[in-house]
Structure 1
């Protein structure tokens, strides 16, 4: 019996909602990622959080019991600085609406950090829990000049914390967008650059993206042409995954990271667009048509198999969806 992870030589893991929620590790995450490293699988961490340096992220992960370093962490702050250099060249001036870690990444990339009020050639915006109204206003003033490039680290609308779900960087980006009537370039997930950067750094051939968010982790994997594993320990629910538009549908779905080391039972699918059937070894069967997915699960079968089967049938019947779907789900 081969495990799911045996098909890959690298894990590109998200952090919030996969490894930890706030300061606390998620059950099974540390032991599973350490086991992957011990088995010779490269493990790297791909984060949209631009408020900390990669070394600070690595230090935090080590404090949780993982073994890693800054070389195995890539952040959206690094990707934002790289994107600005791609557009403006080394030596361009940038104003920072975000953390000092974002400013450090800009300097490391060869950019010159100036005040938002000093006529920068670009504004780099990233998450900082201490960001206030004045910084958002100063960024808006600078971006009133349409020739000023606007690069944001990410557009995550929410972030999981120890007390629950909190507003993410996307809410702050939307505030500036509303004031300027502009849309930014997005450097981090779901863009492909942040993934291709770490793949090239690790020099691996069969990486898989592991994440909890459909709109960033899974969509980003699609854009980078990589397989993906959705883990249900963060912000998304099984219903969210079932209803996902095509570009946010994961290759695999697991309940937690321990399941990386278990056999993955794929549904067998027949039919196609408009009507499809999926089945897993007699344990679960799903039929999907234009509006409904009906799923039968054998007594004693884990509900995860039922969800996988429902997803396989519904996605086969609806292969090209640009918007979220809303099927009627019937269980028996």
Structure 2
């Protein structure tokens, strides 16, 4: 039995899960294809429209069309629509595809606070600068409702973590004191929309960031796979509150072809873990046992504690070697 055999669709994050920047992560494309499951791609990155995302996926070898993509820009448009009537002015801070989406929804896209926009829609774009953020701040100060596509503070790329939309939003919030409504993950709407599009009864959400991908899946009541190819690593998993805890933990998307029971937090690899005061002691370990086996062993204990462990103390050479790889 493999993990993918338990489900009828994959709801996949992109940045840090399927790709990093313009490159597919090692084995990700092969894992998706080999699963044989319908794949829906759910991204908080609002800098590309669904068609552009699908084009990029096809270049990487995945059979994807615009209908297989759900972006936070789309979700933000729906959220903003609750405050708007057709023809209302909307100041869009974001990519051209975001502006096009707002225009196609029947609203009037404006560039300045002088046009008295009813809503400021803020999505990620590498071209956003001081002038655009300042117009947003002026519009919000003038009474516009502030809606963000997502609040991810960082954006994973092949070069490392770049500034994300949440960091740009933080500048506007600092200037205005207004925290925006957020349309993207960790809100459950995108997951529920994607599952409906796939006609899925047993979807599996897959992502790399605990406070968005996994928290959104938990909020939507869906099982999730956390992959260690992006933002949230072992230490974040140890400190994760219940609302951010995945069902399964894998090193990469290759986990889709692995035994689901081994992907759950549990004693494995010959390791054992026990609580000692505020710490966890990790002992034993078979020769060749891996870092992620040690992590799952510790998580089984840590997630039953009232608060995260102060320390994880290795008590064998194998355990010490495994935990050194968490940093």
Task: Provide the secondary structure at the position in 1 that maps to 2:280.
Answer: strand
Structure 1 position 13 matched with structure 2 position 1? no
- One of 118, 123, 139 as aligned partner of 1:121: 118
Q: 187-196 vs 300-309, which deviates more? A: 300-309
Counterpart in the other structure of 1:274: none
| CA RMSD after TM alignment | 1.8
Whole-angstrom distance in 1 between the partners of 2:10 and 2:311:
34
Aligned CA distance change for structure 1 residues 289 and 246 (closer, same or farther; 3 Å): farther
Contact kept in structure 2, 1:16 and 1:159, CA below 8 Å? yes
Whole-angstrom distance in 2 between the partners of 1:7 and 1:290:
38
Task: Provide the secondary structure at the position in 1 that maps to 2:61.
Answer: coil
Query: Residue 142 of structure 1: CA displacement?
Result: 0.1
Counterparts of 1:7-46 in structure 2 under 5 Å? 7-36=6-35, 39=36, 41-46=37-42
Aligned CA distance change for structure 1 residues 294 and 237 (closer, same or farther; 3 Å): same
Counterpart in the other structure of 2:293: 305
Contact kept in structure 1, 2:267 and 2:296, CA below 8 Å? no
Query: Residue 28 of structure 1: CA displacement?
Result: 0.5
Query: Residue 44 of structure 1: CA displacement?
Result: 0.8
Counterpart in the other structure of 2:128: 131
Counterpart in the other structure of 2:279: 292
Whole-angstrom distance in 2 between the partners of 1:49 and 1:267:
28
Contact kept in structure 2, 1:267 and 1:309, CA below 8 Å? no
Task: Provide the secondary structure at the position in 2 that maps to 1:209.
Answer: strand
For these two proteins, the number of residue pairs brought into alignment is 313
Aligned CA distance change for structure 1 residues 73 and 221 (closer, same or farther; 3 Å): same
Query: Residue 90 of structure 1: CA displacement?
Result: 4.5
Counterpart in the other structure of 1:3: 2
Task: Provide structure 1 residue ranges, at least 5 long, that are not aligned to the other structure.
Answer: 270-277
Query: Residue 67 of structure 1: CA displacement?
Result: 1.1
Query: Residue 207 of structure 1: CA displacement?
Result: 0.7
TM-score normalised by L of structure 1: 0.89
Counterpart in the other structure of 2:311: 328
Query: Residue 298 of structure 1: CA displacement?
Result: 2.3
Query: C-alpha deviations, 1:144-163, integer Å up to 9, x for none?
Result: 023x2111011111111121
Counterpart in the other structure of 1:47: 43
Contact kept in structure 1, 2:264 and 2:296, CA below 8 Å? no
Query: Residue 265 of structure 1: CA displacement?
Result: 3.2
Counterpart in the other structure of 1:185: 181
Counterpart in the other structure of 2:270: 283
Contact kept in structure 1, 2:248 and 2:264, CA below 8 Å? no
Query: Residue 89 of structure 1: CA displacement?
Result: 4.5
Contact kept in structure 2, 1:85 and 1:111, CA below 8 Å? no
Structure 1 position 167 matched with structure 2 position 150? no
Task: Provide the secondary structure at the position in 1 that maps to 2:260.
Answer: coil
